[in-house]
Structure 1
Amino acid sequence: MGLLHRVSTIIDGLNGRILSLASWLCLFMVLVQFFVVVMRYVFGTGSIQFQEIILYMHGILFMVAAGGTLLTNDHVRVDIIYNSLSPRKKAVIEFLGCILFLFPVCGLVLYTSWNYVGQSWRIMEGSREPGGLQGIYLLKSFIPIFAILLGLQGLSQAIKAWFTLTNSPKNESAQAWK
C-alpha cells in the first residue's frame, strides 16, 4: 500500500504543478489576446501569427490541464446525484469510472493519435494560412501528452478510490471526492 500511496502522491504533484503552470499560460494567453485586439482596433493591423499563437495556447491549455482538472475535481459530473452519495459509493463510482471509461478512452486517444502526430512530425506540418506558424506538429504533440497525463491522474484517482474501498489508513489525505 505504501508504494501505491507514493505513486498517487507523485502523480498528484505532477498534475498539480502542471496545472499551476497552465494558469500562467492562461494569463499569457489573455495578454496576447489583448495585444491582438489593441493592434486590430487601435492601429488597424492584424497578425495571423498572433492569432494562431492564441489558438495554440488555448489548445495546449486544455490538453495539459485535463489531468489537473481531474485532480481538483473540477471536471464535469452529474453533481445532483453524486453529491448526495456516501464516500464509499463515490469511491465505487470513481474506481469503476476510471477502469471502465477513463482508461479505455485515454488508451484509444493515445493509440489513435500516435500515427497522426508521427505523420505531422514527418512532414513538419505547418499552417495553411499564408504567414501562419509552421509548428502545427508541435501542437499536435500535446494530444498524446493529454492522454498520458489524464490517464496517470485517473490511475491516482483509482488508487485513492481503492484505498477508500479497502479502508486503508493511507487514504486520510488522499480522497479527492469526499
Structure 2
Amino acid sequence: MDDQIECSGFFAAQTEETISCLDKFQSSGALQWVSGNILEAFYSFGYAVTHPGSWLAWVGGLDTPEDKQSMMKFIFYGASVEFFFVVFTIFLLVTIAGLIWRNFMWRSVRFLEGFANMFGRFFAWAGLIMVLQQIIIVFMQRIFTRSEIALVYGVDFLTFDVSWWSEELKLYNALVVALCCTYTFVQGGHVRVDLVYSAVRFRTKRVIDMLGSLFFMMPVALVTWLYGWFYLWRNLVVPNVSAWNYDLDQLLTRSRAMRWNVETIGFSPNGFTAYFLFKILLVTFALMVFLQAIAFFYRSYLEWKEGPESEGKYLDKDKLGDADAELAANIH
C-alpha cells in the first residue's frame, strides 16, 4: 500500500519512474485477475456439475420462469469469462499431468485425434449424399417434371418443393467443411503455406507447430466460438441475447419474455427452412478446431521431446490402397 501511495505521488510528473511503477501495478493486477479466475474455475465447475438444474432445466421446456432463467444462464455462461477459465484450467491440469506422465499425454493425443477421425470419416459421406441428391433433383425436374420430392412417399410433412431440396444441398457441403476440417488436419490434407518450415530442423518444426497451435489455432477457434455462440441463439430464441450489452441480472430480467423463435425463413419462398443448422455447425466447428489445437500442441511437444523417431507415432491415417495415391498424398 505504501508503494502504491509513493507511485501515485509522481503521476503529475510523468517521469520514467512513474510509468515503471504503474506498469508494475497493472501487471500485478492482471496476474491477480488471472489467478483469481483460475481458482474460481474450480468452484464454477463444481457448482455446474452438482447443480445441473440451474442451467439445464430448460431442456424439458420453457414452462416456468425458472426454466427460462436456466436457459438464459446457459446462453450467458456459454461464452463467458467463467466458462473460458474453466476450459483453460482443465487444459492446464491436463497439460501438467501430461508433463509428469508422458503416456497420459499420448493417450490424450490419441483420444482427441480419434475423435476428429471418427467425426470426419462419418460425415465425409455427406459428399456422396450431396452428389446423389443432385442427380435425383435433375431427374425429377428434367425427366419426370415434378415440382415436389417426398422423402417418404405419401407423408405430407416430409414432402418439399424441388427448390427446398436444391438449397438443402448447402447443408451437406457445410457438414463436410465444418465436421471434416479437423479430420483433414489429422490426415495431413491441409495446404501448408511454407516459408521457412521445410528448411529448418525437426525440433524447430515442432516448436513452430506448438506456437502455431497456441497463438493461431486456439485464438481463432475462441473468437469464432464467441461470435458464433450468440449468433446461434439470436436465431433460436427471443428476446435477443448478448453478453456484450447486458449483464447476467439484466438478462435474467429479460428472460421472463423468452420463447423459442427458431429461424425457418429460406432465401426463396419454397426454399430450405432450417438455416439455424448452419449456426450450430459454426459453433461445432469452433469446438472441434479448439480440441484439435490441443491435440496438435501435445503431439508437437511429444515429438519435440522424443525426437524424429516419434514422428507420426500413433497417428491413425487412412490407407488409400494405391501406391500412386499414397505418394501423392504424402507429397501434398
Q: Aligned pair 1:16/2:138, yes or no?
A: no
Contact kept? 2:203, 2:307, Cα under 8 Å: no
Aligned counterparts of 1:52 and 1:30: Cα–Cα separation in 2:
13
Matching residue of 1:60: 175
Matching residue of 1:7: 108
Q: Aligned pair 1:160/2:299, yes or no?
A: yes
Q: 1:104 aligns with which of 174, 195, 219?
A: 219
Aligned counterparts of 1:63 and 1:18: Cα–Cα separation in 2:
10
Contact kept? 1:103, 1:151, Cα under 8 Å: yes
- Give the aligned residue type for 1:57: Y
Aligned counterparts of 1:35 and 1:110: Cα–Cα separation in 2:
36
Determine which structure has more spread, i.e. the larger CA radius of gyration.
2
TM-score by length of 2: 0.49
Aligned counterparts of 1:91 and 1:136: Cα–Cα separation in 2:
40
- Give the aligned residue type for 2:120: L
Matching residue of 2:126: 25
Matching residue of 1:125: 263
Q: Give % identity.
A: 23
1:39-86 CA distances to partner (integer Å, 9 max, x unpaired)?
333344561111122011111210011111111111121257534443
Question: How many residues are paired up?
Answer: 177
Aligned counterparts of 2:145 and 2:135: Cα–Cα separation in 1:
14
Q: Aligned pair 1:88/2:196, yes or no?
A: no
CA deviation after TM superposition for structure 1 residue 168, in Å: 7.0
SS of the residue corresponding to residue 124 of structure 2 reads helix
Q: 1:38 aligns with which of 135, 139, 142?
A: 139
TM-score by length of 1: 0.88
Aligned counterparts of 1:44 and 1:83: Cα–Cα separation in 2:
56
1:74-122 CA distances to partner (integer Å, 9 max, x unpaired)?
1121257534443222212211111111100000000111100011121
Q: RMSD over aligned Cα, in angstroms?
A: 2.4
Structure 2, unaligned runs of 5 or more: 1-101, 148-161, 238-260, 318-329
Q: Aligned pair 1:140/2:255, yes or no?
A: no
Contact kept? 1:5, 1:170, Cα under 8 Å: no
CA deviation after TM superposition for structure 1 residue 27, in Å: 0.9
Aligned counterparts of 1:169 and 1:94: Cα–Cα separation in 2:
14
Aligned counterparts of 2:212 and 2:308: Cα–Cα separation in 1:
23
1:133-169 CA distances to partner (integer Å, 9 max, x unpaired)?
3211122101110011111111111101011222279
Change (3 A) 1:27 1:166: same
Matching residue of 2:228: 113
Answer with 14-23 or 33-42: which moved more. 33-42
Change (3 A) 1:38 1:86: farther
1:16-51 CA distances to partner (integer Å, 9 max, x unpaired)?
111111221111111111112223333445611111
